[in-house]
Structure 1
Amino acid sequence: MPNVTAVAHRGAPYHHPENTVDSLRTALELGADAVEIDVRLTRDGIPVLLHDETLKRLWEHDRPLLSLSADEVHGLTNGAVPTLAQALTATDGSRVMLDLPGTPDVRAARRVVDVVRDCGAQDRVYYCAGPSAMLAVRAADPAAEIALTWTTLAPPRPALLDAVRPRWLNYRFSLVGRDLAARVHRDGYLLSVWTPDTRRAMRRLLGMGVDSITTNRIDALCALRTFR
């Protein structure tokens, strides 16, 4: 069967809180080829792992991340929210997909790219998000590997593809059928999908020849991949 890349969505969130070092390490122990993490900046410009704009959902502090310093985040979460640098150290040698939620500008994207470069992780990190975020990443790093997240069946405009220069097109799994998969591959891109969590959905996507699956159930995906 094709060599499908198994990507752990925010680590292994059924085992540990998402986007934590324990979650990332457990996902890799369970067989993930890569881990996907969400990165935002604190008030003082430190990239940390957090999907939401605030600490409310996971850490019960209704404080916007942009209002907090990295030290304050550390204190409010007992150190459970790692910096990007800490996450890259914890995943040393493994692929990491950096998702940039929200609307990061070129300055924010450059700060993230700088940390990746300072950690010597350029060769194993790739980026995913919508057009505005990926245009910012492309401006910050002409050599970045990009998975352009796309949320409609209509294909991205050629001008956008020329500007972003993605390697991957990244779709919500429910949008993907055989025609879309064939079109993406015919156009010369790799196809990644997010986030199927049932075995039935995973089997369907494996049968379509997708190149990468991002899931919250990395153990289930790796088991399916092993026994196909």
Structure 2
Amino acid sequence: MVAMVTRIALTGLASAVSVVSLTLTGSAGVAPALPADIRPPAGQTRPLEWGSGPLTVAALPRIAYVAHRGGAREVPENSMTGLMAAYERGTAQVLDFDTRSLRDGTPVVFHDRTLNRTTYLGGEVRGLDAREWQGVRLRPKDALPGSWRSERPPTVAEVLDRFGGRIVLMLEAKDPRSLDRLAGLIRARGLTRSVFVNSNDPEVARRAHRLGLLAQLWRSARQLRTDRPERWRSYVDLLDVDHRARDADLVRAVRSGIRRVWAHTVVTDAQRDRVLALGCDGVITDAPGRLARAAQRGAQRGARP
């Protein structure tokens, strides 16, 4: 069994964010009598940063950077502390995380089907309920820079409450059957224009669109060889393409008519420069800090007389 560990005490901005629930009340399209884990906390007001509403995809720059799983080469993937670190550093405009469902239907932030790779436990994620999830602890990789303590993986509701409306979010629905539950969480918080919902399945993307969500579809290099992305432009808001795809396949995706085409999972300057040169307008990266530092160094060199 896992030894109990002390939860990380976030300071500064982290503390300020942790006590604010990012909730819009009275949002259009919210069904009545929502389950308790979907309803936003009562008695909370909008954060001052929202102004008249939450930050949405309309605020994204021309070229967007995404911290994949929070920036998995720089922070513990899919952890609350890792997501907070990526948010505070400001090197990405979008935070990405994965979602799976527990036995009782609770959506949690986790990538793998099993607990083995990233926690101290084993077995399938869906074998646990919400109470048992409280005992799961992440195992940070030794190779990560800095010092990281173990912590419980968050639920999707916790991540939406902490970051929703402050930064654009991207979540992958690893369990397609959870889509209705995820939609309820997003709609209840007024975040339908602030959260991309990702899948590798065009039919799941179509369902997300019908639910009023921002539909994201990711495709591998192999899939892109035979894909016809123009078929998806009526319901896909973001096409997420493998940077290893052939030039011709990336160009075809860019010209498909889908508004946003972002490339995954980029870790080097050369990979980033290639996909941007081919017309992609977003970079999904495990190393947002490193790419940002490299870009800054390049800009400084270019500014020298």
State whether TM-score is above 0.5.
yes
Write 1 or 2 for the structure with the bigger share of helix: 1
Determine the structure 2 residue equivalent to 1:63.
123
Aligned mates of 1:183, 1:130 — CA distance in 2: 18
Q: Does 1:214 align with 2:284?
A: yes
Which ranges of structure 2 fall in alignment gaps of 5 or more residues?
1-60, 138-149, 300-305
Aligned mates of 1:176, 1:128 — CA distance in 2: 22
Determine the structure 1 residue equivalent to 2:204.
133
TM-score (norm 1): 0.86
Determine the structure 2 residue equivalent to 1:99.
172
Q: Kindly tell me: are residues 221 and 206 of structure 1, through their superposed partners in 2, closer, same or farther at Cα, counting changes over 3 Å?
A: farther
Q: Does 1:46 align with 2:106?
A: yes
Q: Does 1:146 align with 2:215?
A: yes
Aligned residue among 164, 182, 206 for 2:251: 182
State the SS of the aligned residue for 1:169. Answer: strand
What amino acid is the match of 2:235?
Answer: R
Aligned mates of 1:154, 1:37 — CA distance in 2: 28
Aligned mates of 2:289, 2:151 — CA distance in 1: 26
Written as runs of structure 1 = structure 2, the 5 A alignment for 1:153-164 is 153-156=225-228, 161=232
Cα distance per residue 1:140-171 (max 9 Å; x no partner): x1x22112112222223766x27x71022211
Q: Kindly tell me: are residues 79 and 121 of structure 1, through their superposed partners in 2, closer, same or farther at Cα, counting changes over 3 Å?
A: farther
Written as runs of structure 1 = structure 2, the 5 A alignment for 1:8-47 is 8-30=67-89, 31-47=91-107
Determine the structure 2 residue equivalent to 1:83.
155
Cα RMSD for the two superposed structures = 2.2
- Percent identity between matched residues is 24
Q: Which has the higher contact order (CA 8 A, sep 6+)?
A: 1
Which ranges of structure 1 fall in alignment gaps of 5 or more residues?
none
Larger Rg: 2
What amino acid is the match of 1:37?
Answer: F
Determine the structure 2 residue equivalent to 1:166.
236
Cα distance per residue 1:180-210 (max 9 Å; x no partner): 3432232211211110112221222232231
Write 1 or 2 for the structure with the bigger share of strand: 1
Q: How many residues align?
A: 219
Aligned mates of 1:57, 1:32 — CA distance in 2: 26
